[in-house]
Amino acid sequence: MVKDIATDITTDAALSRDVEALRERFTQTQELYREVCALLFFRYGITPTANKLYQLVRKGSMSAPADALTKFWGDLREKSRTRIEHPDLPEVLKSVAGELMATLWTNAQAAAQESLAAYHAEAQERVLQAKAAVVAAEAERDAERLTAQRVRSDLEVAEKHLGTQREALAVAEETCSSLLMRLEELKHEKAALQRQLEDSRRELTVELDKLRTAMQLTDERSRSAEKRMLLDMDRERTASARLQKELETHTAASVRAVDLHRQELSSLQQTLGDSRQKNGELEGTLQAVIASRDDALRDIKAIQARLNEASTQATIFRTRSEELLSRLEETQQFLKKEQSAKTPARSKQRTPRSA
């Protein structure tokens, strides 16, 4: 199909160039249409139509190409058809040459038969007249002279017609030569187009192989990336679940620590109230009570400081939940310190009561 498209493009371009050349040579509309008809039929082997002629020439009305086409076919029908076989001649040229030879043969044969018939008739007439009378011989001789003149006139006409046919044959031979040259050019162009087509096919095959290889590599890479991504997602899910559990554990521990500190603070406040109530009753032991009160106040301040510190740590735990994994060990150490600090605080709380 690519070959047909390339051939059509080449033919259209050459046909346009030839029509433009005919435009410059023939200014009359009918002459231009007639030459374009001959160009299509004899050079390109295309049957001319009125629409095709008008598309190529675009001159005059639509009746102009129709009239020119009618006259062209009439001229062709005037020639009879004698087939000339030659292996290298195109079919169109064979037909044209056959028509020319048939025309020559028909005209020459007609002239010869006509002359022969007239001669026989006149000879018989002369024989009869010679037998009848000697006087009629002169008249027959004159008649023979007239007949000879007619024969010579017919021979001259036939010779002129034969010369015309010879000229037409020479034109046909020139046309045949130009057609053969054009045929060789088209063969070379066809070979060049065939080579270009083969080169294009090879390049296309190479590009397709490259694209297939690239697509295979891309597919393999995408599958590997998908597997890695799935593994990473599984690891992230596992790590996220572990962190969530650790966060919940530490949050519960922090809440329990805060509640414990609140209970200790409430207990200390109750102890402080009891101490104040006993202040009036224990005036005798004022110094001891003052000392005990100072100790209790110091304990309360220490506990308050630890409570504030625990509240601060609980707030930090809530706001920095994403960093719990990296600071897990520090948090555990801090909780151990808090637990170790509870024992002396309780021992200090028991001291005022015993006093």
Which candidate, 329, 319, 335, 350, places its Cα nearest to that of 260? 335
User: Among 55-69, 92-106, 123-137, 278-292, which stretch is predicted with the lowest mean pLDDT?
Assistant: 92-106
Contact 94, 100 (CB under 8 A): no
Which candidate, 59, 62, 73, 56, places its Cα nearest to that of 15? 56
Q: Is the pLDDT of residue 227 over 70?
A: yes
Contact 33, 16 (CB under 8 A): no
Render pLDDT for 65-122 as a digit per residue (tens, 0 to 9).
999 889 888 887 765 454 445 555 566 665 666 566 556 545 544 543 454 455 446 6
Q: How confident is the model at residue 222 (pLDDT cuts 50, 70, 90)?
A: confident
Helices (H), the chain: 2-25, 29-38, 50-57, 63-77, 91-132, 135-281, 286-319, 328-354
Which candidate, 251, 236, 256, places its Cα nearest to that of 319? 251
Query: Tokens 């799935």 — which residue?
Result: 230
* Number of other residues whose CB lies within 10 A of the CB of residue 221: 10
| Percent of all residues in the chain with a pLDDT value above 70, rounded to a whole number | 77
List Cβ neighbours of 150 (8 Å cut-off, separation of 6 or more): 118
Q: Is the pLDDT of residue 348 over 80?
A: no
Q: How confident is the model at residue 212 (pLDDT cuts 50, 70, 90)?
A: confident
Q: How confident is the model at residue 137 (pLDDT cuts 50, 70, 90)?
A: low
* Number of other residues whose CB lies within 10 A of the CB of residue 157: 12
Render pLDDT for 168-190 as a digit per residue (tens, 0 to 9).
888 888 887 888 888 888 888 88
Contact 32, 59 (CB under 8 A): yes
* Residue 84 DSSP one-character state: -
**pLDDT at 115 (0 to 100):** 44
* Residue 220 DSSP one-character state: H
**pLDDT at 217 (0 to 100):** 86
Q: How confident is the model at residue 149 (pLDDT cuts 50, 70, 90)?
A: confident
* Number of other residues whose CB lies within 10 A of the CB of residue 32: 23
Identity of the residue numbered 142? D
List Cβ neighbours of 37 (8 Å cut-off, separation of 6 or more): 48, 53, 68, 69, 72
**pLDDT at 6 (0 to 100):** 60
Q: What distance in Å separates the CA atoms of residue 257 and residue 251, rounded to the nearest whole number?
A: 10
User: Among 104-113, 209-218, 263-272, 287-296, which stretch is predicted with the lowest mean pLDDT?
Assistant: 104-113
**pLDDT at 321 (0 to 100):** 66
Q: Is the pLDDT of residue 355 over 50?
A: no
Identity of the residue numbered 9? I
List Cβ neighbours of 266 (8 Å cut-off, separation of 6 or more): none
Q: What distance in Å separates the CA atoms of residue 313 and residue 317, rounded to the nearest whole number?
A: 6
Render pLDDT for 15-46 as a digit per residue (tens, 0 to 9).
889 989 998 898 899 999 999 998 888 888 88
pTM for the model stands at 0.26
